[in-house]
């Protein structure tokens, strides 16, 4: 009979003695424990058994695995509440995430998720992945399914009912809430009234409303008001995804925006936010093109371009929008992935126009953007934010740090560096170098705060009874190595990462362990 079996059979009075005699699965010894609560670090051992933290303090019993953490920080594994990591089923190691200390991913953001979450969760449980996975249900995904191709209109009563049924199903299957992507097709054509109606279902189940706002630039204040209204009328908390003020003309408005959000809070709104620590966003190149021009898919788009008048109107709108946002060209837009022409990857739109059209005029740039879109589109990085605004958002105690990234395929394309470096960058640049946050506060924003906001119970703190998601790192050496020019580089300094008590990273290397779990919202 194993020691563990004996332990179960012993009466309670013998427990203390028995724990000392029995082995734990893991003891992380002598590290500085930053527990996620924001409290100052303490020197302590952390004992883990059966995937849970069972003791924090001085642990005399031995672990089957002993980890010497002297000189290192021991923190809860980071929770990334804003990812697009749906492909974790095909890339189960999720190495770009775990190598920067992330142990839990929230999928399904910006309105886009798997439609059948129950099925997806079952698949993940079969595949086994290296990280814990939770998901939101994407409003855009549901709307796309139900309204089949015709989006620039309100749903019919029957369609609305069907959307609610699908959202309700997702909530029952454990979705943490709903996400919207109000600059993307088909979500962009949903009115606030539609969103309130479908989101009520989520409120009833105790979920959250996470939104990629209708505007992150000139109309961001109105967009925040809309999100707050949805939260109020559908009775649920609101998460503003990747908070920013984008577009040169809007720079400097971060403090004003936070003050605006605070006034909404004072009026009863429950609002939190997340950000990534880069002044460039990453989305599709088609964001330069008006939604109405692209509505109905590529054939409809091509038809509009073929009609000369419509095409000039589209170009005029594109120019006008750039001007309003303070730009005279597209030098701030860099192509990341382009299936139809890989030679454009890594080039700015200006450079791409020079290469493909032998011209750098704005017309040549925008014509090229339209041409790329008709040939399957491209991903793009928009260098559209100011560092000062980023720091203002960072200072707010309700800002979580989240990557907005998918699982990276090492070496593929020229993606945004945030997928390899976001959490590392918080610790290296903003905590160690710039000292804008304490280590304890930065950890809280990546652990206990997201766990509480997204209701990931029993996660995000180093505390007895909590899941043993742990990261052991060197706060003097930890750094992000991924850059816009050379993105494919893992973060370093994250010595060991444990997911549910199992080492997924050991001595800076992925162990190939797949100990992640599907995290479903606990029913109300």
Residue 372 as a binder of Zn ion (CB under 5 A): the answer is no
CB pairs under 8 A, 24+ apart, for 440-443?
440/34, 440/38, 440/39, 440/40, 440/41, 441/38, 441/397, 442/401, 443/34, 443/36, 443/38, 443/75, 443/76
Q: Nearest approach, Cβ of 292 to Zn ion (angstroms)?
A: 20
Q: Nearest approach, Cβ of 212 to Zn ion (angstroms)?
A: 4
Q: Rounded distance, CA 57 to CA 266, Å?
A: 40
- Choose among 74, 20, 66: nearest CA to 44: 74
For Zn ion, give the closer residue by CB, 24 or 382. Answer: 382
For Zn ion, give the closer residue by CB, 32 or 212. Answer: 212
Q: What is the distance between the terminal CA atoms of the chain, rounded to a whole angstrom? A: 40
Q: Nearest approach, Cβ of 276 to Zn ion (angstroms)?
A: 10
With CB under 5 A as the contact rule, the residue among 110, 190, 254, 350 that binds Zn ion is 110
Which listed range, 37-45, 107-115, 201-209, 446-454, lies at the site for Zn ion (CB under 5 A)?
107-115
Residue 84 as a binder of Zn ion (CB under 5 A): the answer is no
For Zn ion, give the closer residue by CB, 112 or 475. Answer: 112
For Zn ion, give the closer residue by CB, 212 or 495. Answer: 212
Residue 185 as a binder of Zn ion (CB under 5 A): the answer is no
Contacts with Zn ion: how many residues (CB under 5 A)?
Answer: 2
Which listed range, 142-150, 208-216, 373-381, 434-442, lies at the site for Zn ion (CB under 5 A)?
208-216
In the sheet that holds 333-338, the strands lie side by side as 281-284, 378-382, 333-338
Q: Nearest approach, Cβ of 323 to Zn ion (angstroms)?
A: 24
Residue 418 as a binder of Zn ion (CB under 5 A): the answer is no
**Triad 43, 46, 48: Cα angle to 5°:** 175
Tokens of 512: 């190939």
Q: Nearest approach, Cβ of 111 to Zn ion (angstroms)?
A: 8
Which listed range, 11-19, 146-154, 204-212, 392-400, lies at the site for Zn ion (CB under 5 A)?
204-212
The CB density around residue 1, as the number of other CB atoms within 10 Å, is 7
Contacts of residue 320, Cβ cutoff 8 Å, sequence gap at least 6: none
Q: Nearest approach, Cβ of 340 to Zn ion (angstroms)?
A: 24
For Zn ion, give the closer residue by CB, 285 or 467. Answer: 285
Q: Nearest approach, Cβ of 108 to Zn ion (angstroms)?
A: 11
Alpha carbon distances (Å) from 462 to 17, 41, 48: 23, 11, 11
The CB density around residue 400, as the number of other CB atoms within 10 Å, is 24
Q: Nearest approach, Cβ of 467 to Zn ion (angstroms)?
A: 28
How many CA atoms does the CB half-sphere of 289 hold within 13 Å? 33
With CB under 5 A as the contact rule, the residue among 114, 212, 304, 444 that binds Zn ion is 212
Q: Nearest approach, Cβ of 448 to Zn ion (angstroms)?
A: 24
The CB density around residue 267, as the number of other CB atoms within 10 Å, is 9
Which listed range, 6-14, 103-111, 365-373, 497-505, lies at the site for Zn ion (CB under 5 A)?
103-111
Which listed range, 207-215, 330-338, 342-350, 418-426, lies at the site for Zn ion (CB under 5 A)?
207-215
For Zn ion, give the closer residue by CB, 212 or 445. Answer: 212
Q: Rounded distance, CA 303 to CA 149, Å?
A: 16
Q: What share of the chain is helix, strand, coil (3-state, %, to 5)?
A: 40, 20, 40
Residue 214 as a binder of Zn ion (CB under 5 A): the answer is no
- Please, are residues 53 and 92 in contact by the beta-carbon 8 Å criterion? no
Q: Which residues bind Zn ion (CB under 5 A)?
A: 110, 212
């Amino acid at each position: 009979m194993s020691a563990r079996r004996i332990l179960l059979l012993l009466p309670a009075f013998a427990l203390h003695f028995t724990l000392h005699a029995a082995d734990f699965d893991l003891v992380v010894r002598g590290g500085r424990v930053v527990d996620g609560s924001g409290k100052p670090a303490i020197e302590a051992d952390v004992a883990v058994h059966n995937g849970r933290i069972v003791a924090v303090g001085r642990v005399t019993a031995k672990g089957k695995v002993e980890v010497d953490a002297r000189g290192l920080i021991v923190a809860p594994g980071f929770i990334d509440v804003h990812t697009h990591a749906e492909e974790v089923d095909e890339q189960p190691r999720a190495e770009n995430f775990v190598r920067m200390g992330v142990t839990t991913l929230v999928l399904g953001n910006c309105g886009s998720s798997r439609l059948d979450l129950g099925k997806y969760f079952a698949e993940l449980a079969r595949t086994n992945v290296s990280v814990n996975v939770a998901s939101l249900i994407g409003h855009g995904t549901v709307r796309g399914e139900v309204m089949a191709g015709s989006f620039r209109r309100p749903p019919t009563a029957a369609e609305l009912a069907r959307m609610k049924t699908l959202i309700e199903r997702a909530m029952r299957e454990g979705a943490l809430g709903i996400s919207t992507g109000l600059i993307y097709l088909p979500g962009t054509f949903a009115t606030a009234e539609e969103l309130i109606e479908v989101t009520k279902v989520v409120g009833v189940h105790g979920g959250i409303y996470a939104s990629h706002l209708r505007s992150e630039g000139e109309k961001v204040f109105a967009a925040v008001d809309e999100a707050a209204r949805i939260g109020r009328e559908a009775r649920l908390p609101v998460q503003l995804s990747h908070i920013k003020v984008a577009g040169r003309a809007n720079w400097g408005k971060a403090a004003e925006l936070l003050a605006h959000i605070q006034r909404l809070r004072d009026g009863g709104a429950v609002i939190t936010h997340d950000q990534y620590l880069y002044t460039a966003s990453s989305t599709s190149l088609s964001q330069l093109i008006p939604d109405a021009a692209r509505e109905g898919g590529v054939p409809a788009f091509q038809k509009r371009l073929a009609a000369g008048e419509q095409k000039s109107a589209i170009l005029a709108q594109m120019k006008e929008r750039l001007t309003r946002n303070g730009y005279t060209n597209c030098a701030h837009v860099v192509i990341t992935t382009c299936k139809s022409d890989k030679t454009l990857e890594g080039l700015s739109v200006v450079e791409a126009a020079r290469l493909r059209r032998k011209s750098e005029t704005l017309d040549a740039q925008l014509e090229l953007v339209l041409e790329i879109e008709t040939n399957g589109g491209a991903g793009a990085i928009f260098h559209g934010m100011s560092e000062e605004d980023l720091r203002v958002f960072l200072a707010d105690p309700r800002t979580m740090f989240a990557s907005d990234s998918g699982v990276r395929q090492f070496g593929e394309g020229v993606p945004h560096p945030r997928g390899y470096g976001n959490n590392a960058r918080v610790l290296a640049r903003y905590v160690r170098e710039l000292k804008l946050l304490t280590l304890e506060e930065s950890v809280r924003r990546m652990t206990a705060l997201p766990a509480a906001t997204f209701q990931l119970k029993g996660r995000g703190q180093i505390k007895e009874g909590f899941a043993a998601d742990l990261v052991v790192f060197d706060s003097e050496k930890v750094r992000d190595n991924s850059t816009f020019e050379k993105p494919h580089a893992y973060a370093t300094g994250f010595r060991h990462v444990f997911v549910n008590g199992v080492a997924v990273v050991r001595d800076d290397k992925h162990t190939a362990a797949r100990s992640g779990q599907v995290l479903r919202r606990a029913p109300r």
